[in-house]
Amino acid sequence: MAATTIGLTGLAFGLASESGIVIQSFSLAQTAEATEVSAHNGTHLAVAFSGYRRNISMSGNCSAAVASSGIGQTLALTSNSTAVSSGTYYVTDASFSEASDGFATFDLSATAYNGLGT
C-alpha cells in the first residue's frame, strides 16, 4: 500500500510484495543454541552460540496453488525484504482455507537452518 510518511525517515510501512500471494502479516524470529561455561560460583566464563535458525511466519490471501506447499518443501521468497536473508527456507507448518463468502487464505511457517541449503 502506498503511503506518505512524515517525520522519521527510513521507517518501513507495509509489506514487500511476493508473487502469487498477498501477504497480510509477516514475522521473523532468529534463534540459536547457547552453550555456557560457568565457574564454581556461577560466574559465566564463556558462551558459544550454534544451531542458528531463522523462523518466518506469514498469512494472507492466495490462489489454490499455494495450498500445495507441503511440509519439508522449500519456500521461494522473491522479495528483497531486509528482514529475510538469503538462504533456503523449509516449510514447517502450512494451512489453507476457503469459504463461500471470502477469499482463500493461508498460514505458513518456514525455517532456514544454518548450513543447509544455499
Q: Where are the domains of the chain?
A: 21-113
What is the sign, positive or negative, of the torsion defined by CA atoms of 84, 88, 90, 91? positive
| CB 60 within 8 Å of CB 38 | no
Instruction: Output the nine-digit C-alpha cell for 80.
Output: 528483497
Output the average pLDDT for the chain.
Answer: 79
pLDDT in tens, 106-116: 888 999 888 77
Q: How far is CA 77 from CA 16, 51, 80, 84, 107, in A?
A: 10, 22, 8, 9, 15
Residue 74's pLDDT is what? Answer: 85
pLDDT in tens, 51-91: 889 898 988 887 655 556 688 888 776 665 545 566 788 99
Q: What pLDDT score was predicted for residue 67?
A: 57
- Using CA atoms, how far residue 103 sits from 14, 21, 69, 100, in Å, is 20, 12, 18, 8
